[in-house]
Amino acid sequence: MTTYKEPTARGYYGQFGGAFIPEMLYPNVEELRDNYLNILADPEFQREYQMLLRDFVGRPTPLFEAKRLSKKYNTRIFLKREDLCHTGAHKVNNTVGQILLAQRLGKTRIIAETGAGQHGVATATVCALMGMECIVYMGSVDMERQRPNVERMRLLGAEVRPATSGSQTLKDATNEAIRDWISNPVDTHYIIGSVVGPHPYPDLVARLQAIISEEMRKQLLEKTGSELPQYVVACVGGGSNAAGAFYHFLDEPSVKLVAVEAAGHGITSGHSAATSVLGKPGIIHGSRTLLMQDEDGQITEPYSLSAGLDYPGIGPLHAYLAAEGRAQFISIEDEQALRAVAECSRLEGIIPALETAHALAALGQLGAGPDDVVVINLSGRGDKDLETYMKYADSIQ
């Protein structure tokens, strides 16, 4: 049976999910599928995972009441400070968990894909911590626009390999990583960076990010007297920070879940990554989900100024949340996100990542009232985007 939290045994959320993989990948995925739940439930794994989240990542991350933003939008806004995680974004919650999993599966070599570079940095970081070989695939366009993160990965001892096909962004990097995994089935673990890919990855990554909403509930109780807010808002690339922020609220119908996608230059512009609006069911990277595609089923190249959101699909959980109407989907254009960067920086003293700014830009569209509590998942910090912010300084004014 599907619940929002747990897919079926074969990895389905409603009609979405599954594992559509070439035969040569089957042993890798099967090994992971057969072992991940037992490993995650093992007390020794949990002890090490919780210790690393606390002492290495810096959890729990604060839940900060954003008073000046609250005043502007006439509602009570809290920011879940994933930007304060070690390495600057939520991505490390997942990589810490997956590296422990890889060790228990006897793997010695780690591969990953990255868009904005945050997942690549988080992977390179845990590989350095554990003394594992690390290869990160990254689209060459993304290598250019997220240069500081490329340098960070190299400093951490990872090899960054450019993906030069297609739009030379996240989708293409993921293709390269899958190709590598097929060629290295025995010693290699593929740390996927979002709730995408074949079963069990969407479920595995959602469980590892669920710490975000676990903490939110406790912190909300302390600060507002109730564990439940009226709104939880998060940006969606593949959907991992949103999955983590939504997870412990999925079965609470009174909590409105708001997923914010990148509209790029505009939904109808042909330069967008708003998958829930433009996508149709299809298969990408081993999973049946909503996918931007043309009449012939060819994947449409996605576009967003933000390197972490320009993915032509979304995770199968999010496709299901969209289909069932459990989450509301909002699309935000580049310009709106850039304005939200300035607003958060100047009203709260926090420079958000460009991905995160999409969630912040949705504040005006929620319809939240003065008695409502709104939690925005502040998925990452903006240091990596400084060059982009300087280039678009006119839009930010």
Ligand X SMILES: Cc1ncc(COP(=O)(O)O)c(C=O)c1O
Cβ atoms of 123 and 158 closer than 8 Å = yes
CB of 375 to ligand X, least distance (A): 15
CB of 25 to ligand X, least distance (A): 21
CB of 377 to ligand X, least distance (A): 9
Catalytic residue among 70, 80, 113, 276: 113
Task: Decide the pairing of beta strands 159-163 and 133-139.
Answer: parallel
Task: Decide the pairing of beta strands 373-378 and 287-291.
Answer: unpaired
Query: Residue numbers of the site for ligand X (CB under 6 A)?
Result: 89, 115-116, 118-119, 194, 235-242, 308-309, 353, 355-356, 379-380
Measured from the CB atom, the residue of 197 and 239 that comes closer to ligand X is: 239
Measured from the CB atom, the residue of 32 and 262 that comes closer to ligand X is: 262
Q: Is 91 a catalytic residue?
A: yes
Cβ atoms of 244 and 209 closer than 8 Å = yes
Measured from the CB atom, the residue of 76 and 396 that comes closer to ligand X is: 396
Catalytic residue among 91, 107, 171, 256: 91
CB of 38 to ligand X, least distance (A): 25
- State the Cα–Cα distance between residues 351 and 396, nearest whole angstrom: 12
Q: What is the number of the residue whose Cβ is closest to ligand X?
A: 380
Measured from the CB atom, the residue of 135 and 378 that comes closer to ligand X is: 378
Question: At 268, which amino acid appears?
Answer: T
* Token pair for 2: 């599907």
For the CA atoms of 135, 141, 145, 151, the dihedral, rounded to the nearest 10 degrees, stands at: 30
Alpha helices in the chain (DSSP H): 26-41, 43-52, 67-73, 91-104, 118-130, 140-145, 147-155, 170-183, 201-209, 211-224, 240-246, 275-278, 316-324, 334-348, 354-361, 386-391, 393-396
- Least Cα distance to 355 among 248, 241, 251, 246 occurs for 241
Measured from the CB atom, the residue of 242 and 263 that comes closer to ligand X is: 242
Task: Decide the pairing of beta strands 188-190 and 109-114.
Answer: parallel
- Least Cα distance to 348 among 100, 159, 119, 81 occurs for 81
Measured from the CB atom, the residue of 115 and 279 that comes closer to ligand X is: 115
* Token pair for 108: 């010695």
CB of 95 to ligand X, least distance (A): 12
Q: CA of 273: how far to CAs of 64, 171, 261, in Å? A: 30, 12, 7
Measured from the CB atom, the residue of 76 and 80 that comes closer to ligand X is: 80
What are residue 89's DSSP bridge partners? 380
Longest dimension (CA), the chain: 56
Any idea which residues carry the catalytic annotation?
A: 91, 113, 379
